[in-house]
Structure 1
Amino acid sequence: MQFKPYAKSLAVALSLAVLAGCSSSGGTQDGSMEGGAGSGYGSASGQGAGTSGQQSGSSMQGGSQDSRIPSERTIYFDFDSDQIRSEFQSVLQSHAQYLRNNGNATVVLEGHTDERGTREYNMALGERRAKSVEQFLSVQGVSPSQVEVVSYGEERPAARGQGEDAYAQNRRVVFSY
């Protein structure tokens, strides 16, 4: 009957070992695992990773924060569309890689629109845009628990004005770490 407590302890220890193994990144610290070849990585702007410029090749700083947050954090959309434009796929892939490599990292996807349309329509469009980015990240292997979607519609414009240049800057999803 003494075997039972040892078996329970062994089961707990093995579970913890498996969980610890699952949390390791598997990629290199310079971001050379997949796509994004040289694009999307820069110094972290004081948030999250706590590194700037270069990291020492073999040291893992901060455990799960072993790579840098991609510096490009905004993607833009066409008028009245939630379709991801092809020129932003490499940006999304670099964010997906970062989130996969850093299982404790979370991101809020902030959907925005220009001022055209009703307030209700723009809130829904901002949410659809953020959800299309969320879906892309999910297909790339990012855990749904790491991603939150929020829509601001037309309420937080990046640029003021009523010209096409201002409108284009406002139709966006922002990655907020």
Structure 2
Amino acid sequence: MNSRFAFSLTAAALSLGLAACSTVSLDDPGAGSGPSGSSGGTMDPFNPSSPLAKDRSVYFEFNSFTVEEQYRPTVENHARYLSSNPKQNILIEGNTDIRGGSEYNLALGHRRAEAVRRMMTLMGANDVQIETISFGKEKPRNLANTEAAHAENRRADIVYERQ
């Protein structure tokens, strides 16, 4: 390989690397933070200021187990962390609102937890790191009988196990 070609190849690689970097303004104190977790604390699920500690729930529409696009960054952050930490295990807890029978809600909660697990494995997490469980309507976050409370209870929660 001649030195001119090697230099061109190195320059191209550096250019691609720089192009992949964020173009977030350093003057904006809130820039780069948020659900994607591109900055604003280390990616540590046990650090309260980390996006992994703050964003641990994926919410669902009524009678649905489809992970909506707005929760993709949350799932992706957790999947990335798991793929970088192969000894870390999690539990995904599927939940529903109070409407519907117990058997139906246990099955729906299971489908919600499995949908998040599948998305994480497609994003690089190892399937053996993830366990799922359904609580159905037995573990509500909000006990009120309002639409807002129901929406808050239709979720899959990501729970990290201490190593």
Length-normalised TM-score, structure 2:
0.70
Query: 1:78 and 2:61 equivalent?
Result: yes
* Residue 103 (structure 2) aligns with: 120
Distance in 2 of aligned mates of 1:114 and 1:43: 33
Aligned residue for 1:142? 125
- Is 1:95 the counterpart of 2:78 in the alignment? yes
- Aligned AA for 2:74? V
Q: CA deviation at 1:69?
A: 3.6
State the one-letter code of the partner of 2:34.
Answer: S
- Structure 1 distance, partners of 2:94, 2:60, is 10
> Secondary structure of 1:100's partner?
helix
Mapping of residues 1-177 of structure 1, within 5 Å: 38-40=33-35, 41=37, 49=46, 51=47, 69-177=52-160
CA shift digits 1:57-80 (9 cap, x unpaired): xxxxxxxxxx98452101100000
Q: State the alpha-carbon separation in 1 of the partners of residues 48 and 145 from structure 2.
A: 37
Q: Provide the aligned C-alpha RMSD in A.
A: 2.3
**CA deviation map 1:76-132 (0-9, x unaligned):** 000000000111011111111111111111110000000000000000000000000
Q: Distance in 1 between matches of 2:133 and 2:125?
A: 18
Rounded to whole Å, the distance in 2 between the matches of 1:68 and 1:159 is 23
The structure where helix makes up a greater share of residues is: 2
Pick closer, same or farther for the CA change 1:52–1:115 going to 2, 3 Å: closer
TM-score by length of 1: 0.65
| 1:161 positional shift | 1.6
SS of 2:73's partner is helix
Within 2, Cα distance between the matches of 1:70 and 1:91? 10
Shift of residue 52, structure 1, vs aligned partner: 6.4
List alignment gaps of at least 5 residues for structure 2: 1-20, 22-31
Secondary structure in 1 aligned to 2:54?
Answer: coil
| Amino acid in structure 1 at the alignment position of 2:116 | V
CA change 1:48–1:140 in 2 (3 A) is closer
Q: Is the 8 A contact 1:43 1:52 kept in 2?
A: no
Segments of 4+ in structure 1 off by > 2 A? 37-44, 67-71
Q: Sequence identity, in percent?
A: 33
Amino acid at match of 1:39: G
Query: Using the alignment, how far apart are the partners of 2:144 and 2:48 within structure 1?
Result: 35
Residue 48 of structure 1 deviates from its aligned partner by 5.6
Per-residue deviation at 1:38?
A: 3.7
